[in-house]
Amino acid sequence: MLHLHNILRWVILLLLLVTLYHAFAKKELLKNSSLWLMIAAHTMLVIGIYQLVAGRFGITKGVPEGVSLMKDSFYRFYWIEHPLLMIIAVGLITVARKKAKALNFKATTMLLLVALLCILIAIPWPFRTGGIGRPWFPGM
């Protein structure tokens, strides 16, 4: 599941860039790409919720003794910052899909740009400190 979550990030980023290009260049293909993007984003949402609930650092495992959630940058990131920003991004992608269906290019572009920003901020890139950073690809 974690490996799938890791690799799907690249699929989403790629689809997001392609969809953004279609919206920006006012291409009818936008209807198609925005649908695939939404499917990928919703799949990611389901896997993410599973990780958050039942994953190795999931809520059901609890925080270790003596750790305060909001003061611990690791748990704050994986329990709050990452899920919250990603849920916002998936929401924006969903609204963008509605706008894309109506071929509202400008609104789609704006919504997708904000979604991209949220995702880029919330991905646990390998260079992130505090034990948050994760590999570029699964199993690396």
Binding site for ligand HEM (CB under 6 A): 2, 5-6, 9, 12, 41, 44-45, 48-49, 51-52, 55-57, 78, 82-83, 86-87, 89, 119, 123-124, 134-135, 138
Smallest separation, CB 80 to ligand HEM (Å): 10
- Rounded Cα gap, residues 138 and 140, in angstroms: 6
Helix axes 105-122, 2-24, angle to 10 degrees: 150
Find, among 109, 117, 113, the residue nearest to 30 by Cα: 109
Q: Which is nearer to ligand HEM, 10 or 102 (CB)?
A: 10
Provide the 8-state DSSP code for 125. -
Q: Which is nearer to ligand HEM, 49 or 107 (CB)?
A: 49
Q: Please give the structure tokens belonging to residue 138.
A: 């699964």
Smallest separation, CB 109 to ligand HEM (Å): 18
Smallest separation, CB 34 to ligand HEM (Å): 15
Smallest separation, CB 85 to ligand HEM (Å): 9
CA angle 117, 118, 123 (to 5 degrees): 105
Q: Evaluate whether 54 touches 5 at the Cβ level (below 8 Å).
A: no
Q: Which is nearer to ligand HEM, 48 or 111 (CB)?
A: 48
